[in-house]
């Protein structure tokens, strides 16, 4: 019999067309609050919601512009290094001045990170309630496939997807960090394409009320 994953109905997450993303990122960048920065960071890194919200300060090397997500927090159970674009690094540096606990995106409860629902609620307040946070990974995938020449396995590695092809899987002996860095830098540049980003308006008063926004 075939594997259940081969015959099970696939439910796709609602995603934004990549052509609409720069305008959305401009709107998101102008918004205040910790959740706005969390969503922006999640999109820039093409990370899963739980990976981004659970990010801890100890996982970052801002000098090398790398975020290392430990295996225990990854869906595939394998450590994942994420090259950070300039804006992703900027977000982390902004939040360093407001550090409250071990989490980069702290929640209201002591020792906890933002709620998994926080970014979804933000999308609803931004009048994009038809979208899902996970869907931005599809936006990234579509952008890479349709507008860049990066090989498929590089994009799949950036998404921390398992690669079933034995030929492509042979490249998994290393994580091709620098090749993926070029991809994530290009993604970061696309996200701010033709956009004049306003100065950061994140402040402590925003932090105090940002667990759901």
- Would you say 58 and 66 are in contact if contact means Cβ atoms under 8 Å apart? no
- Active-site residue among 13, 64, 75, 99? 75
- Active-site residue among 128, 171, 172, 179? 171
- Active-site residue among 81, 100, 161, 179? 161
- Active-site residue among 137, 141, 180, 181? 137
The two counts, helices (H) then strands (E), for the chain are 11, 3
Residue 190 annotated as catalytic = no
- Active-site residue among 37, 48, 180, 181? 48
- Would you say 195 and 25 are in contact if contact means Cβ atoms under 8 Å apart? yes
Residue 13 annotated as catalytic = no
Radius of gyration of the chain (CA): 17
> Which residue, chain included where needed, has tokens 């982390």?
92
- Token reading at 40: 């922006």
**Dist. CA 45–CA 52, nearest whole Å:** 8
- Active-site residue among 73, 100, 128, 134? 134
For residue 18, the tally of other CB atoms under 10 A from its CB is 21
* Helix, strand, coil abundance in the chain, percent, nearest 5: 50, 5, 45
Residue 161 annotated as catalytic = yes
Beta bridge partners of 80: 69
- Would you say 42 and 57 are in contact if contact means Cβ atoms under 8 Å apart? no
H or E stretch at 155: helix 152-158
Active site residue ranges: 48, 75, 134, 137, 161, 171
């Amino acid at each position: 019999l075939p594997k259940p994953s081969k015959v099970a109905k696939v439910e796709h997450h609602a995603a934004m067309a990549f052509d609409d993303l720069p305008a959305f990122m401009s709107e998101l960048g102008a918004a205040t609050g910790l959740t706005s920065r969390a969503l922006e960071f999640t999109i820039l890194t093409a990370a899963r919601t739980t990976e981004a919200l659970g990010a801890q300060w100890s996982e970052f090397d801002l000098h090398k512009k790398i975020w290392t997500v430990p295996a225990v927090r990854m869906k595939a159970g394998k450590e994942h290094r994420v090259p950070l674009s300039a804006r992703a690094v900027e977000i982390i540096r902004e939040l360093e001045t407001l550090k409250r606990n071990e989490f980069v995106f702290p929640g209201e409860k002591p020792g906890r990170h933002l709620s998994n629902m926080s970014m979804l609620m933000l999308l609803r307040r931004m009048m994009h309630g038809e979208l899902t946070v996970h869907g931005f990974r599809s936006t990234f995938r579509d952008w890479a496939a349709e507008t860049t020449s990066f090989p498929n396995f590089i994009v799949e590695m950036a998404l921390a997807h398992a690669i079933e092809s034995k030929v492509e899987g042979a490249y998994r002996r290393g994580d091709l960090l620098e090749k993926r860095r070029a991809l994530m830098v290009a993604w970061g540049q696309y996200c701010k394409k033709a956009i004049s980003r306003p100065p950061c308006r994140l402040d402590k008063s925003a932090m105090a009320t940002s667990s759901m926004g």
